[in-house]
Structure 1
């Protein structure tokens, strides 16, 4: 019998593409391939009887072509604050074994380079998000200011990490990762964030 689970919170992604992200429209990355850092802050969540409130999780990945075509190489980072049951639950959900939308995302992965536990921080401020993994990896992003100071948003995009939610368009102030062959040290590139809600199975 499958375990019932649900979670909601905030997610962000920051990648090496320039300008508007073509991946969410099923188009090739702007520079041939795309390396991205994706993070989730689980505000409220449970996996069966296991609570997942206030935990964070992140994935760093490389897509060799259009992201929706898969064959990603990926590293999964699990919040070191999670106890053994929580780690197993997060691994099941984000590893694609527990159903729901994460199963679709995990099906895009061709090779898991590593699964590691680290301190993961996720700062949420107006117009600003900051994901940290350990001491050396981070995605620091700012929303792009639109008309009358409003957020610039994207709706109903065909490739979505958080289906059903409008994306806020942002730009990276810092995108750094130097591990497992996935190397980034950039700024001024594409970034996005939104709420998310996943359920399964």
Structure 2
């Protein structure tokens, strides 16, 4: 049956606004710490419904993302049944195929895949996600020159989503599990996502 999932997505990274990594440029810091959060509004894999569940990924990459050797930790919603958790893991790791499978060759080490208490909230252009006491991230859409709409980037050269993303700025971001990082006022992207495979 394959899979089809869609919902809300945002990411925050340690690069300055706007992140050059999506254009295959080097990160603005010595490495890139990247946090990705998905909320599935509707979706299934092989008939297993995963609607309403969340997944979050922490990524540490070298200065040049395309060099690979990414270190990755994946957190899956602990409200999921074992079948749902397996489905979520397959979709958001890229193991089930689809767009995320194209990014998977850049991963050098998966340091963990674990169930966790994940919260995800969105109010207009403001998004927040939390993974227990291990990770917290927030983002706010920026406003473009017209004073009312966010800047939009389409068809970038590298990304975990294929949909156009709106430019945002990260609020307070903190991660302390397999490595530690903390930043704010840096790059963020927001979009609706849709994956199929």
Task: Provide the TM-score with structure 2 as the length reference.
Answer: 0.95
Alignment correspondent of 2:193:
196
Q: What pairs with 1:1-201 in structure 2 (closer than 5 Å)?
A: 3-147=1-145, 148-163=147-162, 165-181=163-179, 183-200=180-197
Task: Provide the TM-score with structure 1 as the length reference.
Answer: 0.93
Q: CA RMSD in A?
A: 1.2
- Structure 1 residue 85 displacement after superposition: 0.2
- The runs of 4+ residues in structure 1 deviating greater than 3 Å are none
Unaligned runs of 5+ in 2: none
| Separation (CA, whole Å) in 2 of partners of 1:131 and 1:55 | 12
Quick check: 1:26–1:68 contact (8 Å CA) kept in 2?
Answer: yes
For residues 146-195 of structure 1, the C-alpha deviation after alignment (integer angstroms, 9 at most, x for no partner) is 122211111111112211x21111111111001112x1221101111101
Aligned positions, number: 196
- Structure 1 residue 64 displacement after superposition: 0.9
Quick check: 2:134–2:177 contact (8 Å CA) kept in 1?
Answer: no
| Separation (CA, whole Å) in 2 of partners of 1:157 and 1:35 | 19
Quick check: 1:42–1:55 contact (8 Å CA) kept in 2?
Answer: yes
Unaligned runs of 5+ in 1: none
